[in-house]
Amino acid sequence: MGNYPLALTKIQESSYVLLFHTPRKKWLTKVASDKKFHTHLGIIDVSSIIGMEYGSAVRTTEGKVIFLMEPTIHDFIMKSERKTQIVYPKDLGYIAARTGLKNGSKVLEIGTGSGALATFMASIVKPEGHIYSFDVNSEFVEIAKRNLEKAGMDKYVTILQHDPHQGIDVHDADVATVDLGDPWTVLDQVYDALKGGGAFVAICPTMNQIEKTAAQLRKSGYADIACVELMIREMEAREGMTRPSMRMIGHTAYLVFARKVEKLQERIYQPAGEEGEEEKEEIENKEVSE
């Protein structure tokens, strides 16, 4: 069935394991001999799991079943240390899908935050790609570095404690992500760092931010500007009683996408016509619901 790398599914000392009981009761820990992991479901003898296969079950001292899962980037991110809001998997995934992030991509990140986005992007662009991440906050930078090391992504990410407004010494980036309170202030610097046609995305919690960012993008040599929000809802899928979950996340952030293009003399922006089309096709005419 063709070439494929040998799957290393045995748990080794110093590697990480996700001790899984249920979706709400799971813990990420580093494997070490003589280690005992205490939970409210009992104690797990971590040393005894060395050499076991991922997916195996062990029991706590109280007899509760714990599955030994191999942590994914998703697990590392959800269990990461943070002093600031992480970027959520639904948004991480869409950023990757929309920007064409792939092995070998060179990525410029403005605003390292907790490192969640860098962690995820590194897992995609490695081994040939690299993330160059800028943040002025030394505390965030330290936390991000720890999170990246824990996830094994640190060698694919260079974090620079440097103010991007002063200029960005990165060239021909395939993708640029911006997670700042005022993304519209770095669009020129990011433009210069991107390759022609390179992808841009800003992560903006508020409406005010997307408004200013989109307006500034239109004036700064970017095209194909789009702004989206993704929502996720869990379903309780049980025989005879399937329904959506009663709670859900209301909002994480809006994502503003664009692509770097040639700057032209005349002002280029998404023609009002495009948006006008939408106005005319008023919902009631199409009888879509209600």
Q: Which residues inside 70-129 make contact with a second copy, applying CB under 8 A?
A: 70, 72-75, 78, 82, 85-86, 88-90, 92-100, 102-104, 106, 120, 123-124, 126-129
Binding to a second copy, residues 141-160 (CB under 8 A):
158
Q: If we measure between CA atoms, which residue out of 9, 25, 11 comes closest to residue 66?
A: 25
DSSP code, position 156: G
Residue 267 binding a second copy, by CB under 8 A: no
Closest CA to 133 of 117, 149, 146: 117
Residue 4-23 contact track with a second copy, rule CB under 8 A, x = bound: xxxx-x----------x-xx
Per DSSP, what are the bridge partners of residue 157? 131
- List, in order, residues 6 or more apart from 102 with CB less than 8 Å away: 124, 125, 129
> Residue 33 is inside which H or E element, if any?
none
Candidate segments 34-42, 135-143, 168-176, 182-190, binder of a second copy by CB under 8 A: 168-176
Which tokens in the block code for residue 193?
A: 């760092």
Kind plus residue range of the DSSP H or E element containing 198 = strand 194-204
Whole-number minimum distance, CB 244 to a second copy, in Å?
4
Residue among 117 and 141 whose Cβ is closer to a second copy:
117
Residues in the chain: 290
Stretch that binds a second copy, among 30-38, 133-141, 142-150, 255-263 (CB under 8 A): 255-263
Among 55, 61, 81, 182, binds a second copy (CB under 8 A): 55
Rounded alpha-carbon distances, angstroms, from residue 127 to 95, 110, 154: 19, 21, 12
Please tell me whether residue 63 binds a second copy under the rule CB under 8 A. Answer: no
Kindly write out the interface string for residues 177-216 of this chain, putting x where it contacts a second copy by CB under 8 A and - elsewhere. Answer: ------------------xxxxx-----xxxx-xxxxxx-
> How many residues form the binding site for a second copy (CB under 8 A)?
130
Q: Which residues, at least 6 apart from 5, have a Cβ–Cβ distance to it below 8 Å?
A: none
User: Cα separation of 176 and 194, whole Å?
Assistant: 7
Among 15, 56, 185, 220, binds a second copy (CB under 8 A): 56
For a second copy, the binding residue among 14, 40, 51, 264 (CB under 8 A) is 264
